[in-house]
Each structure stands twice: as structure tokens, then as C-alpha cells.
Structure 1
Amino acid sequence: MPDLSTRLAREREALIDTIEQPPLPLIAGRAASIRRRRRARRAGAALAVLAVAGFAGLRPWSTDAEPAPVAEPSPSPGVVYTDAGITINGLTGDRVLDPRGRVTDVAFADPDNGYALVECLAGEDPCPASLARSTDGGITWRLAAMPPARDAAADLAAFSDGRVVLGGYVTTDGAQTWQAVGRGTGPASTVAEGQLLRLGAGGAIEVWSSMYGDRGELTSQPERMAVNWVAGAPTATGGWWVGGTRDGRPAAAVTRDGGRGWEVHEFAAAGSTAQVSVLGNRVYVTVLGPDREISAIYRSSDAGRLFAPTGTGRVTTPHGLSGEVVPLLDGRLLAVGLDHRWYLSEDDGRTFSQADGSLPQIGRIVRAPSGYVAYDLFGSHWTAFSADGSTWRKLQVY
């Protein structure tokens, strides 16, 4: 019979064999990933300091790993750019989806689910267009399937029911598969809830549906009005605004009954178009000249039934408007100038002051059905999304 010490040694070995060993390869991989993220965060912080100093053309991110199709979330908050109550939350983690080309169109069906179209523009080396999809508000992205063919001039449109329309095709499964839809053969009598209005060829207002794409021109168009701007989203009560000119004067029109009838407002200021910004009952009309200089801003506090100018004479700062004016929840107005800087007004647009801080250069802000999209950040083709115009998320697709 084995002595006591021999039995104890055997039992100890048997016990060790029953203990599951840690997955050393997985642990090593995770450790390497953590080291890469730490290096990326240190490099990102250093580049952010350079950006504030004026090197806005540099990319405010760096990594020693190749871009991957899927970005992993990171507990790091990333670099934050802010001034005057405007905040842009920068990149998180160390992965950015970087397909060939540049982001030319962004559409969010809701604050979580978004799509980004990436293309090479005219004059650049040609490349196939690609589509990226995010389900977490733009933090992580993966490549999705493109339609088999598409009209290059067609917009990317994401609808509240989860469907996406792009270039004559519709997807119902998150851009895994696409089905062709025919353009409407006749006029559309109304624009229903969940549908969109878009500016068509020749200034006609068109109706877009998540089921059929472009349904055709709206039957009733604003009387005697040359439309050259259509709101990116309806108001909270379902009204749709358009802008342009009427008998040579800047004008804006709204339909409150799904496109059956229009209420037209003409404005005395000189200009070639009028753009409308809405938040609740506050409605602002920005009259723009041919070079997008701001001729005047009009305000309504009764959902756009009566307007009054907010000041006398032209708005001299900013010198021109890029994109659209954004009404903020705190009562201020946000605007982007043609000089690629951020401007804020505390007096309904009578005067604007420039916001500096660490806010980056910006190309323009565009209204979308679920919020706002900022294009061409940092003097490059970064984009950001905001539900309210004050707090932005830099999209991790480039």
C-alpha cells in the first residue's frame, strides 16, 4: 500500500488536472488589444492638442492596427471638443471603419440606426461606392451590401420603419438584401406619416415612401412658387416646409394637411431663397442671397402663421450660411458660416458670436428626419450626428 506522502501527491495531481486552465492565447490577445487602445488614446490626445493649436487638417486619431470592418466599443470617452454649450464627443476605442472614398451622405432612421454612403468624387481616383451601417448611434460600423445598381444622383433615405431607400432600391433587412422599386408613374395625392418630401428635377416637390421609393410629384404644389429648398423632416405636428421665391421675392410655404393645400408667406428682404428651421412653435425663416449671404431672419412664435423680422438690415456675421440654421433647446440659434466656423445667436438671429474653444472646422449642418448631420469636420470628410444640435457624436466611419 502506498504510504501517506505518495497518496497525497497523487491526489494533488488529480485535483490539478480537474481545474480548467485559463485560455492563455485569448488573454494574450486581450492584453495586446488593451496596449493598442492605450497607445491610440495617447496619440489621439496629443493630436487633439495640435488641432486646438491650429492643425485642424490632421486626423485626430491614430492607431498602429489596420482599420477593421467592425469597431469595438471602448470604455474610453475619447477626446471631447466643446465651446459655448456645443459638445462633440470624439472617437472611442481604436477602430475606425475606413473604406476607400469619403462619406458623402448620412441617414439615421432613429438615433441608434444609421447608414453612411462612401464614394469617390469626380476628379478623384475611381472606386466602387460602399455602404456602412451602425446600430449604436455611430460608435461602431460594419460594411453592408450595396444595391446591385443605383442612380448615382439619388439620395440615401432611411425611414422610421427601418427600411432604407437608395438609388431605386429598398432594403427591409438592414441592407443585407435589396429589391428594385419602380419610380411612380403618376402624381402622389398626399404625403402620409412616415413618408418624406424631397426636391425633384425642375423644382417639383416629390413624395418618397419606404415601400416604393420615389412615388412621384406631389399633386398640389405651392401656387406660383419656384421651390428650390425642401425641409429634411416634417415638424412635430406633421407640417412640411419648403422655400424658394414667388414672383421674384423670397417665400416659404407650409402644408399642414399632407400636401393637399399650401400656406405661402412672402418676405420683404432681398434674396433668392428662404430656408425654414423649426423647434416646437418657434419657426425661423432665413432669407439667403445668391451667394448665401444672410439677408434677414424672420421669427414666428405661433408655428409659422405670423412672422416678424428679428432685426433691421442684413446679418453681417456670419458672412454667409453653410447648411441650415439649428434652433437649440435653450432658445439660441446655431449656424455654420462659409468660413467653416460655428456661430451662435442669443437674440433670435439679430446678432451672432463665434464659438471657438476646441470646436473643429465644419463644412455644413443638414436637417435629417431624426436629427442633424454635420459634414466635413476637421477640414476633412469626418461627419457627426446630433439629435438636438447641441451634443454631437463623431461618427467612426471615414
Structure 2
Amino acid sequence: MPDLSTRLARERADVLDAIDQPPLARIGARARRRRRQRHAARAGATAFTLAVAGLVALRPWSAEPKPPPPVGNENQAVAPVYTDDGITINGLSGTAAAVPGTITEVEFADPDTGYLVAQCVTGDPCSPTLARTSDGGHSWVTTALPPIESDPDLLLFPDGRLALGGHISADEGRTWQAAPGHAGQPAAAGRGQILRLRDAVEVWDSGYGYSGTLATQPGLTAHWLASTPTASGAWWAAGQVDGQAAVAVTRDGGQTWKVTRLAVTGQIAQVATLGTHVYAAVLDANGVIQAIFHSVDSGATFRQTSTGGGSVAGDLVPLLDGRLLAVGTDRRWHVSADNGRAFTRAEGTLPAVGALARTPAGYVAYDLFNAGWAAFSADGSTWRKLQIN
């Protein structure tokens, strides 16, 4: 009897014999015919390509022209850069717009949208002018202003409206109407309202303008009020309590205030914030620093970092790298890497500057080069010179 492997081999052969085999000859012939068709098609395509190339060579105007290589503008202005110690100012990249008078206030609602007020010196017959930009200060459009008080504040509201010298604009300063006002004692600044310091802390509304004196004052003799709230909505005020410097903060629009006495004698106090970091500077009447305090917990507690020295013109600027920037009364830039304990002067090519000021979208530098120029920065480190003067 054949063994198992022999029987399996015979049965496999029987099964294969029983299966109808495909027509291999016909399949092979079909494959050869398709190969011949593909070869012919490629040959035809090559011939067509050569014919077209020859036609294009004879008729070059029928071919799609290649774009010319880019040509550099030999007259394009290269913006100068002024820098030192991590502070950079990008200069003018074109022709600056002219505005009569001197730039007295600049406010930016966001990095692109900004406004400035230019006023004439005493005895000059020109009228105050408002200019606005929508491209970050590269180009400006000027608008004539109605009669306004001699030194008005330009106020930017969260809804985009403007207030200036008793007038309200709902169309980016193109037209102005007298603000109706609404004298009262509001409990707090609500939606679309801001706080402003004159003789006392006031509430201003984007529709009414002046809306009355805040019912609950900060609890100190206020000499300074932040021009804009922090990212969390807190408003800071600074002044004196019993002859000593103090700061106060409200986190509910002015309904309640927390006062912190700094236990240092000074004429003026001011606050600068970045995230949870809060700096409080105590100055004398000439801007000379008497003390600097630092908080890392949003102002819950303060630690004194400096006992004085140097001076401040305008606002302090906390930088993203942890340093503190200030402009001194010497019209130079100064930075501190130890929370205000000591400042070093930035040299390099940085120009003279008059003062720094907070604006809703960042900071403004005034009187650059001792020539009335202004610059804007969203972070205090990189500045853009505004193309208007």
C-alpha cells in the first residue's frame, strides 16, 4: 500500500486535472497586444511633444511667457534699528506724515489701531488735531477736532468709542458730538465704562462721557490712577495715607478697594503690573525714586526691593524676561534685572526719550530724539517708531 505522502500527491494531481485551466495562450496574446498599444501611445506622445516644441520655436508668441525675475527697488528705504540691552526701536521705513503742533497723547486700542492728539504751542494759531492709524502706526489719517479744553485726556472705551474734551465719537474720531454727561455717584464702573482720576476717581461711559464720581473712593489721597485695568480687570490707584505712600486696588470696578500702606514717605506713588507681578514705586516731587516694592501674588503682599536712587519719567514697564524698564529724568533708558534694586543705563544707539506711558494695548514712548517723535510697543522690549510728526 502506498504511503500517506504518495496518496496525497496523487489526489492533488487529480484535483488539478479536474480544474479548468485559464486560456493562457489567449491571455498572453492580449498582454502582448496591450504592450504594443502602450508603446505606440508613448511614441505618438513623443512625436506630438516634439511637434509642439517645434511650433513654439517657430511661434514664440504662442507660448506662455515666464514671469520676469523680481527687480529690487533701489529707492526703498531701509528702516534703521536702534538697540541696546535687549531694547530695540525700529525706525522709519518711509515718509512720515506731518501733523501740526506737537504730539501730546498717543493711545493704542490694539497693536494695529491707534490714535494721537497733536496740539500747538502757546501762541501758535493752529487747532488741535486727531490722527488715527489702522496699521500699527505706518500710515495715518488726520481729523479736525471740535473746540476742546486746553489739555484734554483721550479716552478709549472697550466698545471702540472715544472721548476727548467733553466730546464723544462713535466712528473712530471721524465725527464728534458733545457728551451729554450724567452726574451722579455710580457704585462701580460697569460694562463699557472706565475709571479716570481728576479731583477724585470718576466713572466715564462710552455713551454719556462723564457719569459721576465713584461712590466709594480708594481709601487714600489718590495722586495716580492706572490708565487701563489689568488683564484680570483690576484697577490700581496710588497716593498717600497719613503722609506715607500707599496703593489701592479694586477688582470689582471700584465698588470695594484694598489699601496697602508702603510705610515710605513720598510725594507720588505709581504701580506697574505684568501677570501676577506688581511693582509699586514711590517718588519725590522730582521723580527721584524713594523706594520700589515688588509683589509676586497680584498685590496681596509686597516686599521692598529698593531704598531709592535713580529717577522715573512716566510709567515703569515690566518686561517679559523679568526685568524692569524705566526712563529717567536724564532722558535715557534704564533696566533692572533685580526687581528695581539697581538700574543700569542702556547705551548703544538708543535715542533720548522723554517718558513712557501705559496704553490699553501696550506702551508709548514720547519725545524720542528730543524731537517730538513717538513709538509704540506691545511688550516694552520691541518698539516701532510712529511715522508721524
Structure 1 and Structure 2 fold alike (TM over 0.5): yes
| In 1: Cα distance, 2:173 partner to 2:297 partner | 41
Shift of 1:342: 0.3
* Of 332-341 and 363-372, the range deviating more from structure 2: 363-372
Shift of 1:149: 2.5
Alignment of 1:184-333 (within 5 A): 184-200=182-198, 202=199, 204-223=200-219, 225-311=220-306, 313-314=307-308, 316=309, 318=310, 320-333=311-324
**Gap runs ≥5 in structure 2:** 1-70
Note if 1:92 corresponds to 2:93.
Answer: yes
SS of the residue 1:310 aligns to: strand
Q: Deviations over 1:154-200 (max 9, x none)?
A: 21112232211111111112222212212331122211244322111
Q: Deviations over 1:39-61 (max 9, x none)?
A: xx4xxxxxxxxxxxxxxxxxxxx
| In 2: Cα distance, 1:188 partner to 1:145 partner | 33
- Whether the 8 Å CA contact 1:110–1:160 is kept in 2: the answer is no
| In 2: Cα distance, 1:221 partner to 1:164 partner | 25
1:190/1:229 CA distance change after superposition, 3 Å? same
| In 1: Cα distance, 2:174 partner to 2:285 partner | 42
| In 2: Cα distance, 1:163 partner to 1:350 partner | 40
Shift of 1:370: 1.4
**Gap runs ≥5 in structure 1:** 1-30, 42-75
In the alignment, what sits opposite 1:356? 347
1:352/1:294 CA distance change after superposition, 3 Å? same
Alignment of 1:173-188 (within 5 A): 173-188=171-186
Shift of 1:379: 0.7
| In 1: Cα distance, 2:113 partner to 2:354 partner | 23
- Whether the 8 Å CA contact 2:354–2:365 is kept in 1: the answer is yes
In the alignment, what sits opposite 1:105? 105
Q: State the TM-score, normalized to the length of structure 1.
A: 0.77
Shift of 1:130: 1.1
* Of 344-353 and 105-114, the range deviating more from structure 2: 105-114
Structure 1 segments of 4 or more deviating over 6 A? none
| In 1: Cα distance, 2:255 partner to 2:113 partner | 32
- Whether the 8 Å CA contact 1:298–1:308 is kept in 2: the answer is yes
- Whether the 8 Å CA contact 1:375–1:381 is kept in 2: the answer is yes
Give identity over the alignment, percent. 49
In the alignment, what sits opposite 2:141? 142
Q: Deviations over 1:279-327 (max 9, x none)?
A: 000001001112211011001111001111014x32x2x2x21001100
One-letter code aligned to 2:160: G
| In 1: Cα distance, 2:163 partner to 2:351 partner | 31
| In 2: Cα distance, 1:193 partner to 1:334 partner | 32
One-letter code aligned to 2:184: G
1:174/1:145 CA distance change after superposition, 3 Å? farther
In the alignment, what sits opposite 2:63? none
- Whether the 8 Å CA contact 1:222–1:262 is kept in 2: the answer is yes
| In 2: Cα distance, 1:149 partner to 1:110 partner | 27
In the alignment, what sits opposite 1:7? none
1:154/1:270 CA distance change after superposition, 3 Å? same
| In 2: Cα distance, 1:193 partner to 1:369 partner | 16
SS of the residue 2:264 aligns to: coil
In the alignment, what sits opposite 2:9? none
| In 2: Cα distance, 1:372 partner to 1:177 partner | 26
Q: State the TM-score, normalized to the length of structure 2.
A: 0.79
| In 2: Cα distance, 1:171 partner to 1:145 partner | 13
One-letter code aligned to 1:227: A
